[in-house]
């Protein structure tokens, strides 16, 4: 009886530890699928092109880097649904803020003051 109970407790603990990883994987897959269908600024666009196509950003975050030639200035513009990352004045990446309203994830960055 004790062996059976130990096995059952071990199985439940294992199942509980695997469940969050499976849930996180599902969210990642859903996020990737949604990002593929989203219209985001393309790599290589200039700041002017992004502003012309997507409008004024909701916020411009504080620049990072720029302290050495090998560390160019990285600017971030925040829109309602996505954030655009620029190296100097060119887009290097665009990322959706959230895959859905119910997604739980990291908080957005605070705008520069």
Task: Express each pLDDT in 36-62 by its tens digit.
Answer: 677 899 999 999 999 999 999 999 999
Encoding tokens for residue 28?
A: 């990642």
> Order of strands, edge to edge, in the sheet holding 74-78?
59-64, 74-78, 82-87, 90-96
pTM: 0.59
Q: What is the pLDDT of residue 39?
A: 87
What are the tens digits of pLDDT across the range 60-90? 999 999 888 888 999 999 998 899 999 999 9
- Give the phi and the psi of residue 6 in degrees, each rounded to 5: -60, -40
Residue spans of the domains in the chain: they are 1-37, 40-113
Overall residue count recorded for the chain in this entry: 113
Across 7-21, 41-55, 87-101, the highest mean pLDDT is recorded for 41-55
Determine phi and psi for 17, rounding to 5 degrees: -75, -25
């Amino acid at each position: 009886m004790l062996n059976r109970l130990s096995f059952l407790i071990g199985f439940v603990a294992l199942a509980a530890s695997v469940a969050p990883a499976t849930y996180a994987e599902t969210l990642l897959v859903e996020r990737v699928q949604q990002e593929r269908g989203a219209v985001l600024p393309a790599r290589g666009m200039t700041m002017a092109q992004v502003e012309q196509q997507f409008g004024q950003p909701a916020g411009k975050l504080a620049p990072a880097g720029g302290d050495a030639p090998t560390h160019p200035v990285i600017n971030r513009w925040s829109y309602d649904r996505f954030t655009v990352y620029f190296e100097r004045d060119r887009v290097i990446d665009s990322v959706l803020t959230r895959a859905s309203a119910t997604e739980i994830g990291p908080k957005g960055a605070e705008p520069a003051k």
